[in-house]
A and B are shown apart, each in its own frame.
Chain A
Amino acid sequence: MAWLVPAPGHAAPEEATLEFWELSVGEELMRSLLDKFERQHPGVRVRFQQLSWDFGLDKIITAIAAGNPPDLVELGTDWVPQFSSSGVLADVTDQVAPFKDQFLLWDPVTYKGRIYGMPWLAGTRVLFYNRALFARAGLNPDAPPATWQALLDAAKAVDALGPEIYGFGIHVGEAYAPWQEFLPFAWGNGGKVLDDGWTRCLMDQPPVVEAMRFYKSLKPHSLVERQPQVNQLFAEGRVGVQVSGAWNLAVIPRMNPTLNFGVGLVPKPSERRGTPASFAGGEMLVILNSSKHREAALQLARFLAEEEQAMAIVEAQRNIIPAAKSAMHNPYYAGHPEQKVFFEQVQHAVAPPAHPHWVRMQERINRAVEEVILADSDPEKVLRQVTADVNKLLVIPETGGRFSDTLIFGGFLALLLGVPLASWLLKLKRRGPKAVRMRHSVYNLWISGVFISPWIITVLAFMLVPLVHSFVLSFSRYNLLTSEFGFVGLRNYWDVCREPEFLHALWHTLFFAAGSIPPTMALALFGAVLINQKVPFKRFYQAGFFLPVATSVIVISMIFTYLYAQDGLVNKVLEVLHLPAPNPPWLLNTKWALVSIMLMNVWASFGYYLVLFLAGLQTIPSELYEAASIDGANDWQKFRYITLPQLKPIVLLATVINTIRALQVFPEIFTMTQGGPLGATTTVVWYLYETGFHRFDMGHASAVGYVLFIITMILSWVQVKAFKEENT
């Protein structure tokens, strides 16, 4: 071992600049902690970067793939196994041995008996309940339900308070909450996901099935929604009980400072049986293998995990507890008993198996929960299927291909690019030597070169280089995390074309395009024609329609997520009109989710085309209309035979732009549904993103990108042809 922990009190001898990335603390506080560390360890400087939960993983993966990872990084417990098993993390087993007893939660960082990180902050899910609703329902406001039966009774009693009030909150429609909320019931009942040797999945065993049945029995008395929406309604005092993370201790008072709520342990199966289990999650600090300052990195990790620093984070955030055991006796908890519940809960918390394929297993379990809750499937049947699927994942596929294939690959690429280029050149020569020769004097070329050089340079560097790179990737197997690389020929394309998941995504994308482009165009044309009727305040209308276009998609998605919620504006309007609202609500409904995003997309983009069309309308010479009037044409005829044909070129352009945009729809999906529910909003780009950045299969993802590119080109070409044909 080339690097050893120095005796306590000794600073790292060499000058070191550590790069540290974290997700959960916040810039201001973290900087102050790091300043303190730097004062204690002269010679070590720490540069740090604040990431966030939604995007952290992508960034870390990208950095590792680019060979530019930080020295020390925070990882959520469920991410660690993939990293530790792929060999990118430093083994710190011997270094942490002296102080291992002082911290909780070593399971998630342990892989095959070796330790690959430092537990930092522990997070777990507990029971949140509304004390005011409990009192109204005749329940003891100071006694959260402790058993399954008590929970069911409480849910029923609270649910009976009125149609606007829900007994329990079931989280669906996202990546973490459903399984993290359901598995504790299974664990508490003695169930397990895998057996100890990771040879077999145990999800079809009676304890798990029983737990799933119980979970399903809560549904009639529950609000079934995405976690933010459940939280929203909980904060508004309309949900009796939910199982949720510690962060809510900080979030709920911000959302509704007047809510009277309490926390308790997750209920256990019955008084005598089972445990109040919960999900053992938390934040781990891991050191990358590539780090040149592992020693200093470990010092920093330990420094941050120590009670003093961890408590500073806890006091600022109130949403997490330290992994340092000594913190339990910190005076802060004497004054904040509700946060001490988390300590108690952590004692019963179970860590999911640190299997390298855990993320895919959790995806599968997540879907199972949604199938039971959203699609009303039979728990036993669903769990049997889960077991079969997880068993398949337990057989770790062989790793193949090596970088030595580069040569074959280079030849292949040269062929692929060279042939069309050569044939094109030949064709060019054959077709029109005169036209080509005529104006290509050296001087003229030079002038042209000056004019297009800024564009050529940027395009070559920032478009062509990455493009060729990703094109290369599309013919190879390339794992982002392990950098394992190998040439596989057309394999990726072949896989893409017959994969049902991709075909679904393609169908969704085409549906999205076909369903959102015509209304956008129609609305834009309608509005433009109306504004062109010489109405007063023309510019006001123009601007009004254009404002959504100017607004960031991120902002728009956030507003609409809220509008589409169970009690959002859309449902409220439907209620006033006595129209039925879809159940589950829009973004969670497999039938409506994609349509909801399409409607939002129409709203957000029609103003752009409206302005384009308006400009087009104003260029139509008024003589045409005057002549038509003299000939006795009515308004519709004028529109049909003058306006429409005159607008055709603009409509064509708008359609092509809109098609390209629609086929690439992504930020909306990313912020609103993450491809769910049950894959209903998985579009091609989302599928690409998931394959590349969640399953790390960048080769496959690149192939998806090029298939989409080809489809886009074909569609645009068809549109141009169709318009032209009509013209002649």
Chain B
Amino acid sequence: MKGRMLVTLAVGILTVMVVLTLLPLILMFYTSFKPTGTLFQSTTEVRVADFEIGEMNSIGGPIAVKAEEGAASVVTMEFQPAQAAPQQNRVMAVHYQVVDRPVRWTTRVGQDMRKFAALELKVRGEAGGESFQIELSDLKGRRTGVPLQVLRRGGLTTQWETIRIPMEAFRLSSLTPGVSERVAEELEITFTGGTGTVYLDDIRFLFRGWTLNNYWDVLVSGPFGRYFWNSAWIAVVVTLANLIFSTMTGYAFARRDFPFKKLIFLSIIGSIAIPPQVLMVPVFILMKHLGWLNTYSALIVPNLVMPFNVFLMRQYITKLPIAVEEAARIDGASEFDIFWRVIVPLSQPALAVVGINTFMGSWNTFLYPFLLTNTVEMRTLPVGLALYKSLHGVDWVHLMAGSAITALPVIVVFLCFQRHIIEGLTRGSTVG
């Protein structure tokens, strides 16, 4: 009875602790799927223009009308107070007279169109039957449009109505070819014929709900795919090397005798305590002399045997029962046979610990990869992430997608090997 209460209490406390522990990471994943915004703020729409404040649109961009030079067509615009509406409630009136070439009313948008589900605007015609084309154009003047006729056969009426255009109606691929973002610089209302007046209000873009765009941006069209590969390759090689070499070295320290053994072993412990910043410049100079700058070698070779792993393996092997080895030796096994057939299999639990430790360390390390790599082809995830941060400011959604990509593999590796790790630490009581 008392035992069950204790367990319930423990579960309660643990759950609270785990939730608190995971909260920042959950925020990270949550943010990475948002189309835009910050960790806490969610935006559902971009109101491009409601014509309420000043002479600019609602995101601070200019509003203008354009007729081609030399054309006889005319277009003008004015901010008009809405009928039967309180102060501070204005609409946009566009007067047009198309004689030869089309005229345009335009306003700045400057947004990545992939984030949006639809464009919505309120319109009304002066006489009814007015029509136009709704277009998006990029910085270089490439445009894609939807004729109003497609949505409202017979054009506008004299009543306000809300038009909703799903983004799929536009051919977004014609904007900004060559890059993944589809930035529409301007939203344009193009009049191709006739004369009349059109009233506009509340032009807004509605966001999609959840999106994988952020991941797509950083991973496929951004450089994170390459970073990922680099990190993975380096981490795998370093981990494999450490599994073999640190066992070898640990075995030598645990079971064999050679001169300066104690001194060398102490130096292993000592080397963990040296701040790596002291070695930054000397290591850089060394790598330069070796011609290893910006190569995998520079990131892999120095880490083939990490001191902490040697320390762990030595502690573990010291505690293995020596009888098995002695028996093998009596049976005439060579030193290498003993190592390979006795020590390595017996060390499996400790190897799991070394493996995950090394993988994690290698995956997350920042200082030397930052210092020793020069190009996008060689960078690892943490370096790429830090670089991305300082190049793109606090672009939380992309930053969190990049962070998630950086964090996820280690999390997955840990979850897969979790049991072995605990077992490894437990079975040999490795540590100590």
Contact = CB atoms under 8 A, between A and B. Distances in A.
B286 interface: yes
A254 B394 CA distance: 9
Interface in B32-46: 36-41, 43, 45-46
Contact of A65 (B21, B281, B419): B281
A459 B265 CA distance: 12
Contacts of B399: 558
A409 to B, nearest CB: 16
Of A458, A545, A550, A551, which is in contact with the most chain B CB atoms at under 10 Å from its CB? Answer: A550
B200 to A, nearest CB: 17
B372 to A, nearest CB: 10
Given A54-B389, A548-B24, A648-B432, 17 more contacts: A50-B376, A55-B386, A66-B284, A255-B396, A258-B46, A262-B60, A448-B258, A465-B282, A467-B282, A470-B278, A550-B407, A552-B366, A559-B27, A611-B425, A667-B367, A705-B274, A713-B273
A3 interface: no
Interface of A: 26-28, 49-55, 58-59, 62-63, 65-68, 131-132, 135, 140-142, 228, 231-232, 235-236, 247, 250-251, 253-262, 315, 335, 337-338, 424, 436, 438-440, 444-445, 447-449, 451-452, 454-455, 458-459, 461-463, 465-467, 469-470, 473, 480, 527, 530-531, 533-536, 539-556, 558-560, 562-563, 569, 603, 607, 611-612, 614-616, 618-619, 635, 648-650, 652-654, 660, 663-664, 666-667, 671, 684-685, 688-689, 692-693, 698, 701-702, 705-706, 708-709, 712-713, 716
A563 B432 CA distance: 37
Contact of A440 (B259, B288, B394, B422): B259
24 contacts: A131-B53, A135-B52, A228-B394, A231-B393, A232-B38, A236-B41, A254-B392, A255-B37, A255-B394, A260-B60, A261-B60, A448-B252, A455-B248, A533-B7, A535-B7, A539-B419, A547-B21, A551-B364, A552-B363, A559-B27, A560-B24, A562-B38, A603-B21, A709-B273
Given A62-B284, A545-B18, A688 B60 contact: no
B209 interface: no
Contacts of B301: 458, 462
B345 interface: no
B330 interface: no
B65 interface: no
A612 B429 CA distance: 10
A67 B45 contact: no
Interface string B46-70: 1100001111111111100000000
Interface residues of B, number: 129
Contacts of A546: 414, 418
Contact of A550 (B258, B275, B410): B410
Given A54-B386, A454-B305, A615-B422, A664 B24 contact: no
A176 to B, nearest CB: 13
Interface stretch (B9-17, B145-153, B162-170, B320-328): B9-17
A470 B281 contact: yes
Given A247-B393, A439-B257, A688 B58 contact: no
B139 interface: yes
Contacts of B100: none
The 5 A-B pairs at the shortest CB distance, nearest first, are namely A649-B432, A615-B425, A705-B278, A466-B282, A462-B302
A142 B55 contact: yes
B236 interface: no
Given A562-B39, A607-B21, A53 B414 contact: no
Interface string B356-394: 000010011011001100111000011001110111111
Q: Interface SS of chain A: helix, strand, loop or mixed?
A: helix
B273 A59 contact: no
A551 B46 contact: no
B195 interface: no
Given A462-B283, A649-B432, A709-B273, A256 B43 contact: yes
B360 A53 contact: no
A62 B40 CA distance: 39
A619 B390 contact: no
A612 B403 CA distance: 26
Contacts of B82: none
A458 B283 contact: no
A556 B56 CA distance: 40
B431 interface: yes
B84 interface: no
Contacts of B430: 615
Contacts of B403: 551-552, 555, 558-559
Contacts of B267: 459
A602 B74 CA distance: 68
B248 A543 contact: no
Contacts, number: 376
A311 to B, nearest CB: 11
Contact of A551 (B281, B407, B419): B407
B296 interface: no
B293 interface: yes
B418 A543 contact: yes
B41 A551 contact: no
B304 interface: yes
A709 B304 contact: no
Nearest to B278: A705
B1 interface: no
A428 B422 CA distance: 41
Given A135-B53, A552-B364, A611 B274 contact: no
Contacts of B79: none
A525 B374 CA distance: 43
A253 B59 contact: yes
Contacts of B382: 552, 554
B22 interface: yes
Nearest to A27: B376
A291 to B, nearest CB: 16
Interface string B400-432: 000100110011001100110110111101111
A258 B45 CA distance: 8
A284 B54 CA distance: 38
B123 interface: no
Contacts of B307: 459
Contact of A552 (B17, B21, B286, B406): B406
Contacts of A552: 363-364, 366, 381-382, 385, 403, 406-407
B263 interface: yes
B422 to A, nearest CB: 6
Given A448-B256, A650-B431, A698-B281, A467 B274 contact: yes
B263 A236 contact: no
A619 B426 contact: yes
B277 interface: yes
A545 B25 CA distance: 11
Nearest to A548: B21
B192 interface: no
B304 to A, nearest CB: 5
B19 to A, nearest CB: 8
Nearest to A248: B393
Contacts of B54: 131, 135, 140-142
A543 B414 contact: yes
B110 interface: yes
B59 A259 contact: yes
B129 interface: no
Nearest to A51: B387
A612 B425 contact: yes
Nearest to A253: B110
A547 B245 contact: no
Contacts of A713: 270, 273
Nearest to B424: A615
B333 interface: no
